[in-house]
């Protein structure tokens, strides 16, 4: 990376940050520390376009496509890294860089950044996820199979009743905990098929609704090819007993989504973490993307491909009842029978008939080559250009979801 930076400085090459989010902030400061000026900032999110990002007006990809091809472009995005790379390649931009070496070689501790977002732990995680997702592009060449994240659903039960939950918890009338033995068996097979996994994400509902959450945590931290285990909670339940003790393990981190008054155990949870040296990150969330409801809509192949490509959930691999889905909407929609159960859209890791080699190849095809899934016909996707709604609006009772034909 230093060679690239030296070349950029020597030739006074214009610099573009593609992504005006958190990684863009880190990239801006990393380049500033090396006395490299950022000339343009680009983002696909229409809400960011036209806004100022450290003095630079955020432009659209269309505006970028009209510019000279001799610029140095840094991809400041993890979720859409494949889409952005394809776009830049199609537009014949020659000097395109990821952020891994640039960010890893930068000390951000002297900067006055929001510590809820840019704590040392959060920065390390953002860099690691960016590196893993970028490797997804390169791995098709070098045959490695590294995965950035897998969501493990250990319960359908939640302490809140959010009307617009993107994971469809509001539609479960008789929520259950996941079958531990089935999940353990399936995870064992998954971990034999991949080379590495950056993080397992333990989800529900709320994981603390499962009184034996600790069994899943203790299982997941034992894999040598897993970097960390992240537990997501809305901070309405204070962890106790063995569910609390497992949080102290080295690989474990607590990810707290703070919904204000609804997260009424938030401050207690923070105090508990700090008193026991438990790794945690807390994020205040006031808005969600409006993903609408689950209903079938006729779409063309190109429309389905565009929807999948621009969806920020298309790489949120989700484990539910021994099956691996491409996203939580597909997982829970299928489980609720609102989306048809199509074998081509899942990898059934509980299937004993497939060998490890066969399963690995199916997983690689599932991970690298999917252009859309059946669930895309029932969902409008999670595009950052969509409207926002107030987060965590509560409903008094479970909602009814339409069943697929």
Q: What is the pLDDT along the chain (405 residues), one digit of tens a residue?
A: 455 888 899 899 999 999 999 999 999 999 999 999 999 999 998 889 999 999 999 999 999 999 999 999 999 988 788 788 888 988 999 899 888 888 988 999 888 888 777 888 888 888 888 887 777 766 554 578 989 999 999 999 999 999 999 999 999 999 999 999 999 999 999 999 999 999 999 999 999 999 999 999 999 999 999 999 999 999 999 999 999 999 999 999 999 999 999 999 999 999 999 999 999 999 999 999 888 899 999 999 999 998 998 888 888 999 999 999 999 999 999 999 999 999 999 999 999 999 999 999 999 999 988 999 999 999 998 876 677 899 999 999 999 999 998
> Do 271 and 360 sit in the same domain of this protein?
yes
CATH of the domain at 227: 3.20.20.70
Residues 46 and 193 in one domain: no
Residue whose C-alpha is closest to residue 372's, from 317, 297, 295, 306: 306
Spatial distance between the Cα atoms of 325 and 332, rounded to a whole number of angstroms: 9
Residue 399 resides in a domain: no
Spatial distance between the Cα atoms of 345 and 325, rounded to a whole number of angstroms: 7
Residues shown for the chain: 405
Answer yes or no: do 213 and 348 share one domain: yes
**What distances in angstroms separate CA 398 from CA 138, 153, 175, 179, 336, one per listed residue?**
44, 19, 10, 23, 13
Asked if 159 and 273 sit in the same domain, the reply is yes
Q: In angstroms, rounded to a whole number, what is the distance separating the alpha carbons of residues 395 and 317?
A: 28
Are 13 and 89 members of one domain? Answer: yes
- Same structural domain for residues 231 and 281? yes
Are 265 and 233 within one domain? yes
Domain count along the chain: 2
Q: Do 173 and 241 reside in the same domain of the chain?
A: yes
Instruction: Tell me which residue range forms the domain holding 39.
Output: 2-125
Q: pTM of the entire structure?
A: 0.81
243, 309: one domain: yes
Contact 194/347 with Cβ under 8 angstroms?
Answer: no
Residue 346 inside a domain? The answer is yes
In a domain, 240, yes or no: yes
Q: What is the CATH number of the domain that holds 72?
A: 3.40.50.720
Residues 206 and 306 in one domain: yes
Residues 6 or more apart whose Cβ sits within 8 Å of residue 167: 203, 328, 329, 332
Same structural domain for residues 176 and 316?
Answer: yes
Q: Which phi and psi (to 5°) does residue 92 adopt?
A: 65, 35
Asked if the structure places residue 131 within a domain, the reply is no
Report yes or no on 6 lying in a domain: yes
């Amino acid at each position: 990376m230093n060679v690239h930076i030296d070349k950029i400085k020597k030739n006074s090459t214009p610099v573009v940050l593609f992504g005006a989010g958190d990684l863009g902030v880190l990239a801006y400061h990393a380049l500033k520390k090396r006395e490299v000026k950022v000339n343009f900032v680009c983002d696909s999110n229409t809400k960011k376009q036209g806004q100022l990002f450290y003095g630079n007006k955020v432009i659209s990809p269309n505006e970028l496509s009209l510019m000279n091809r001799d610029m140095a472009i840094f991809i400041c995005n993890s979720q859409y890294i494949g889409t952005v790379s394809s776009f830049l390649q199609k537009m014949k931009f020659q000097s395109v860089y990821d952020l891994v070496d640039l960010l890893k070689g930068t000390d951000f501790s002297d900067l006055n950044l929001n510590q809820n977002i840019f704590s040392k732990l959060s920065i390390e995680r953002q860099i690691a996820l960016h590196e893993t997702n970028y490797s997804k592009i390169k791995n098709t060449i070098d045959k490695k199979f590294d995965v950035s994240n897998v969501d493990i659903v250990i319960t359908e039960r939640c302490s809140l009743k959010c009307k617009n939950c993107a994971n469809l918890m509001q539609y479960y009338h008789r929520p259950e905990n996941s079958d531990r033995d089935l999940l353990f068996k399936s995870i064992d097979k998954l971990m034999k098929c991949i080379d590495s996994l950056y993080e397992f994400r333990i989800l529900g509902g709320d994981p603390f609704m499962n009184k034996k959450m600790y069994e899943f945590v203790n299982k997941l931290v034992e894999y040598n090819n897993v970097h960390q285990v992240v537990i997501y909670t809305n901070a309405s339940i204070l962890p106790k007993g063995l569910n609390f003790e497992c949080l102290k393990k080295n690989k474990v981190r607590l990810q707290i989504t703070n919904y204000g008054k609804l997260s009424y155990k938030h401050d207690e949870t923070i105090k508990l973490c700090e008193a026991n040296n438990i790794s945690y990150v807390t994020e205040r969330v006031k808005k969600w993307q409006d993903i609408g409801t689950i209903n079938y809509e006729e779409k063309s192949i190109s429309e389905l491909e565009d929807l999948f490509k621009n969806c920020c959930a298309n790489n949120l691999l989700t484990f539910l009842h021994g099956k691996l889905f491409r996203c939580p909407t597909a997982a829970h929609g299928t489980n609720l029978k609102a989306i048809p159960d199509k074998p081509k859209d899942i990898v059934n890791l509980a299937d004993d008939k497939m060998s490890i080699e066969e399963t690995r190849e199916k997983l690689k095809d599932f991970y690298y080559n999917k252009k859309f899934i059946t669930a895309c016909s029932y969902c409008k996707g999670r595009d950052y250009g969509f409207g926002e709604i107030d987060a965590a609006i509560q409903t008094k009772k479970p909602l009814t979801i339409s069943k697929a034909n």
